[in-house]
Amino acid sequence: MKKIYTVFLLFIVATMLACYEDKGNYDYEDISELAISFDEYSYSTTFGEEVKIEPKFNIEIPEDSPRYSYIWYLNGETRPEWNKRIFTWTADEVFKRGNVDLEVTDLKMNIVYMNRTSLNVTGIYENEYSWIILSDMDGKSHLSYFSNLEYDDEKDEFKKTKFYNDIYTSVNGEELGTGPIALQVHFRQGVNYKDEVIGNVCVFQKSGAVDLSGESFEKQIDMIQAFDGGKYPEGAIIYPGTFMDRVDVLSDQRGRLYSRFKASSYVYNSEYFLPTPLCYEDETEPVEKCQVGRGFYRANRTGYAFVYDGKNKRMLYVVNSGYSDEIAGAGKLTALPACGENDKIDEIVPLDNMNGYELIKMAMFGYGYPNYGYFLLLREESTNKVFLQIVKVTGSNGRPKIVEVKLHELKGLPGVPTLAAFPQDRPEYAFFAVGQEVYYVDLNNIGDPVEPYKSFNAKITAMNAESPSNAHMAVGLENGEFYILQIWNAKNTPEEKRIIYPVGEGAYPADNKVGRIVDIQYKQLDHWNY
Amino acid sequence: MIMKNRNIIEVLLFGCIFLMALSFQSCDKQEIETYDAEHALFFERWKRVGVEDVRIDTVGYSFSHYVGETELVHDFKINLIGDLLTEDMEYRVIVVDSLTTALPEQYTLPDPPIFHKGQATDVLSVVLHRKPSLKDKEVRLTLRLVANENFGLGYVTYTDVKIRFNDKNVIPLWWTTEVKEAYLGTYSYKKLETIIAANEGFTTFDGLSDTEKRKIALNTKAYIALHGITEDDNSPMLIPMY
């Protein structure tokens, strides 16, 4: 009986449900669903420059369509003027990986569609492929900055550039000094992985070196303040050297060396250079006529820098602090052996005795951590022949070990080069300036004669090839003209495509002439330049 | 069952009696010791040096680290409790014989010690004398503040100070492993004499910056080279600083 009753109840309920009136609306309407996209995954601009972001839609929307409204958000905030279809903004703040959100409202259907892209705004002086130029204007030091605002990697072309003539005076409201000598970019250790360190720029000049912020070109200190007692060693004019993690070494006009042990690798300047010139190991006479291989900007990867002792014609190296940051042994000058274990000493210029040769230029390169090397551009004094000796080294933490030394005669040069430039990362070419001409040698076929690369209308007075990916080389002339050459594929680049700045065939822009160019440095943006 | 209830009653009864006893006890008036003196003194015990607290009521000196000196003065800091003094006042310090091995000729104490007016702290200056009786010996001097008519005692455990001093050839405490490996190399008394000769006024590495330490080491290195100084056994006197 109970079962019959239950079945009856279920039947009644089901019957009542069937009587329920469905009032749903099944008259579907096409709402033209909108999909928003962007040309770029991430956009970039420079502080002070205008950025435009134009969205793409999956449907045709007339420019003046009243059906849609737009609101752009930059890092979660909007402004009244950001209500147009195209986002236009003159960057007034610097940030990395900012979010740009577009909200499009379909006013007819009252539906909001959204999409997001990314935007980087870099500081004015923090663009890739940019250069710092030091020149002599009637004896006065003159600092300029070439800024790449937009570069087409595929075509190897600058799309937008800006040249800041006399940037130091513009920023600091005073003259830089007199008797320009050289530039050196140097770094500190980042406090953490988010700390994007833009290296300081040290300007060496006869009136006294100054250290500038790499972010703003504002003067941070006169380098004389970094010397003990606030004065330079007697009669010394300070020249570049090497800035390592804890140990910094600078030279003077006599090629003597002075060092300081920084209290911390996290700051650019701390503690003081002592006036006592460095000696080799326990010798009592200071080394002289030295050239310091500037080495890596973050030399803790190697923990040493090569030093050419010109007075004794031998190669030394100076060490940073030990692996555990200890001071013991820091700043010590140590001799390099004559050559590697497998080298034939009569086929090279022994590193411990380079008598008979003049060192024209020394430059460091890398070929995969912890393998490094030095180019030694040598002139044989008795014959005036020019040689490139390539010293390959391995090891880090202040313990370089010579892997091999190879000596190559450079054939085909019309004279002894006054300048040379070497790309840093697994270089395939080396460049030499003789008068107004640039020559190159293919390092993979180093026995072949050098080839002319570019001829200029004035004497070449500065060259640098330390741009990322070995892409570019900057050339400065005695007449104040500044050029950028494409070099990554030197031997296959047609002559007419070798200069990529200034763009075009016209006369050199008068506004960009900066006196006699003394030095050019690539504006390194971080210390991991290998 | 009756037995069990009786036990509970006994426990409650004893508990009440115990609580009453405690209550009576709390009503008892006990005399609390107070400092009768208007002013009291105590020795400063700690000093902040960098990030560490360093004890300063116990110190050590070695005349061997002060080449040419026959007297050393050490100031112990004394703090005042109470209002600042309106006039200088004597306080009393005694030598604790049981904790002292120094001979009276080896030290001098102020007589009488004075706490000066208008200041919250003062110093007790103890002069140590390099006497022949101290040669190759180490002695100990323990001084104790005691109450007098002017001053009571501030903190009971802050009344004593100690000086250990000697005229023995010992490695200074500041000649640490780092100093040895990075700056000055292996200790020898002759090297210490040389360091002092090369660096006028030098007494210790403590509290010096890295630059100052380097200067001292490099000055010494240059001085050694200039004067051709060697160790007593004619081995080179090495300074591992560059």
Closest B-chain CA to A327: B182
Cβ pair A327:B209 closer than 8 A = no
Residues 6+ apart with CB under 8 A from A260: A226, A247, A248, A271, A272, A273, A274, B211
Within 8 A of A279 by CB-CB distance, chain B residues are 242
Q: Mean pLDDT across chain B, nearest whole number?
A: 87
Q: What pairing do the DSSP bridges indicate for beta strands B40-43 and B152-153?
A: parallel
CA A218, distance to chain mean position in Å, is: 19
Residue A328 distance to chain B (closest CA, Å): 4
pLDDT tens digits, A248-306: 999 999 999 999 999 888 899 999 999 999 999 878 899 999 999 876 544 446 888 99
Within 8 A of B222 by CB-CB distance, chain A residues are 276, 284
Q: What's the mean pLDDT in A358-368? A: 92
Within 8 A of B218 by CB-CB distance, chain A residues are 274, 276
Interface A:B, Cβ pairs < 8 A: 45
Bond preceding residue B112 cis, omega within 30 of 0: yes
Residue ranges of alpha helices (H) inside A76-200 are 167-172
Cβ pair B178:A326 closer than 8 A = yes
Cβ pair B242:A260 closer than 8 A = no
With tokens 């959204």, the residue in question is: A114
Of the ranges A8-17, A25-34, B46-55, B76-85, which one carries the lowest mean pLDDT score? Answer: A8-17
Nearest-5° Cα angle at A141, A460 to A430: 30
Q: Give the closest residue to A277 by CA, choosing from A314, A233, A311.
A: A233
Question: Is A11's pLDDT higher than 70?
Answer: no
Within 8 A of B210 by CB-CB distance, chain A residues are 261, 263, 271, 327
Cβ pair A327:B242 closer than 8 A = no
Q: Residue B218: which of A276, A282, A327 has the nearest Cβ?
A: A276
Between A452 and B21, the higher pLDDT residue:
A452
pLDDT score for A371: 87
Between A178 and A394, the higher pLDDT residue:
A178
Question: Is A407's pLDDT higher than 90?
Answer: yes
Query: How many whole angstroms separate alpha carbon A100 and alpha carbon A526?
Result: 26
Q: Please tell me the pTM assigned to this model.
A: 0.78
Q: What's the mean pLDDT in B170-177? A: 89
Q: What is the three-state SS of A320-357? A: CCCCCCCCCCCCCEEECCCCCCCCCHHHCCCCCCCCCE
pLDDT score for A22: 61
Indicate the DSSP class of residue B181. Answer: I
Tell whether A271 is within 8 A of chain B (Cβ).
yes
Of the ranges A173-182, A296-305, B39-48, which one carries the lowest mean pLDDT score? Answer: A296-305
Work out the pLDDT band at A505, boundaries 50, 70, 90.
confident
Closest B-chain CA to A258: B242
Within 8 A of B184 by CB-CB distance, chain A residues are none
Q: Mean pLDDT across chain A, nearest whole number?
A: 90
- E strand or H helix at B220: helix B210-227
Burial B107-141 (b: 16+ CB within 10 A, else e): bebeeebebeeeeeebbbebebbbbeebeeebbbb
Query: How many whole angstroms separate alpha carbon A119 and alpha carbon A96?
Result: 7
Residue A163 distance to chain B (closest CA, Å): 41
Cβ pair A327:B178 closer than 8 A = yes
pLDDT tens digits, A301-312: 688 899 999 999
Question: Is A26's pLDDT higher than 90?
Answer: no
**% of chain B beyond a pLDDT of 90:** 68
Residue B228 distance to chain A (closest CA, Å): 11
pLDDT score for B68: 78
Work out the pLDDT band at A94, boundaries 50, 70, 90.
confident
Between A330 and B4, the higher pLDDT residue:
A330
pLDDT score for B31: 44
| Contact assessment for residue A509 and residue A165, using Cβ atoms and an 8 Å cutoff | no
Closest A-chain CA to B240: A329
Q: What's the mean pLDDT in A450-469? A: 96
Q: What's the mean pLDDT in A177-192? A: 92
Indicate the DSSP class of residue A311. Answer: T
Q: Give the closest residue to B225 by CA, choosing from B198, B204, B199.
A: B198
Indicate the DSSP class of residue A248. Answer: E
Work out the pLDDT band at A322, boundaries 50, 70, 90.
low
Cβ pair A326:B225 closer than 8 A = no
| Contact assessment for residue A183 and residue A519, using Cβ atoms and an 8 Å cutoff | yes
Cβ pair B242:A261 closer than 8 A = no
pLDDT score for B201: 87
E strand intervals along A287-418: 290-292, 304-309, 314-319, 333-335, 357-366, 371-380, 386-394, 401-409
pLDDT score for A27: 63
Cβ pair B215:A284 closer than 8 A = no
Of the ranges A53-67, A146-160, A325-339, B18-32, which one carries the lowest mean pLDDT score? Answer: B18-32
pLDDT score for B11: 60
Q: Give the closest residue to A431 by CA, choosing from A402, A474, A380, A371.
A: A474
Which range has the top average pLDDT, A48-52, A320-324, B137-141? B137-141
With tokens 């080896």, the residue in question is: B106
Q: Residue B181: which of A278, A328, A333 has the nearest Cβ?
A: A328
Maximum C-alpha span of chain A = 127
What part of A 316-355 touches B (C-beta under 8 Å)? Answer: 326-333
**% of chain A beyond a pLDDT of 70:** 91
Cβ pair B182:A330 closer than 8 A = yes
Cβ pair A329:B182 closer than 8 A = yes
Q: Residue B152 corresponds to which amino acid?
A: G
* DSSP 3-state of B213: helix
Closest A-chain CA to B214: A274
Q: What's the mean pLDDT in A400-409? A: 96
Q: What's the mean pLDDT in A107-119? A: 94
Domains in chain A, CATH or no CATH each: 36-122 (2.60.40.10), 131-522 (2.130.10.10)
In a mutagenesis test of the A interface, which of B214, B215, B221, B226 is the best target, namely the one with the most A β-carbons within 10 Å? Answer: B214
Work out the pLDDT band at A25, boundaries 50, 70, 90.
low
* DSSP 3-state of A14: helix
Within 8 A of A329 by CB-CB distance, chain B residues are 182, 240, 242
| Contact assessment for residue A277 and residue A256, using Cβ atoms and an 8 Å cutoff | yes
Between B27 and A154, the higher pLDDT residue:
A154
Q: Residue B101 corresponds to which amino acid?
A: T
| Contact assessment for residue A71 and residue A83, using Cβ atoms and an 8 Å cutoff | yes
Closest A-chain CA to B218: A276
| Contact assessment for residue A185 and residue A214, using Cβ atoms and an 8 Å cutoff | yes
Q: Residue A328: which of B211, B214, B240 has the nearest Cβ?
A: B240
Closest A-chain CA to B217: A276
Work out the pLDDT band at A158, boundaries 50, 70, 90.
very high
Work out the pLDDT band at A129, boundaries 50, 70, 90.
very high
Work out the pLDDT band at A10, boundaries 50, 70, 90.
low
Question: How many CB atoms sit inside 10 A of residue A479's CB?
Answer: 16
For the stretch B157-161, contacts whose Cβ atoms lie closer than 8 Å and that sit 24 or more positions apart, written own/partner, are B158/B42, B158/B43, B158/B44, B158/B45, B158/B57, B159/B42, B159/B43, B160/B43, B160/B57, B160/B96, B160/B99, B161/B43, B161/B57, B161/B58, B161/B76, B161/B124
Distances (CA, A) of A273 to A227, A235, A261, A269, A277: 5, 15, 8, 10, 10
Structure tokens at A247: 């140990």
pLDDT score for A396: 74
Q: Residue B182: which of A228, A276, A327 has the nearest Cβ?
A: A327
Cβ pair B181:A330 closer than 8 A = no
Between B6 and A361, the higher pLDDT residue:
A361
With tokens 């937009």, the residue in question is: A150
Residues 6+ apart with CB under 8 A from A279: A285, A286, A287, A333, B242
Q: What's the mean pLDDT in B114-135? A: 96
Cβ pair B211:A228 closer than 8 A = yes
Q: Give the closest residue to B128 by CA, choosing from B179, B37, B60, B182.
A: B60
Question: Is A528's pLDDT higher than 60?
Answer: no
Q: What φ, ψ does residue A240 adopt, rounded to 5°? A: -65, 165
pLDDT score for A507: 84
Cβ pair A329:B238 closer than 8 A = no
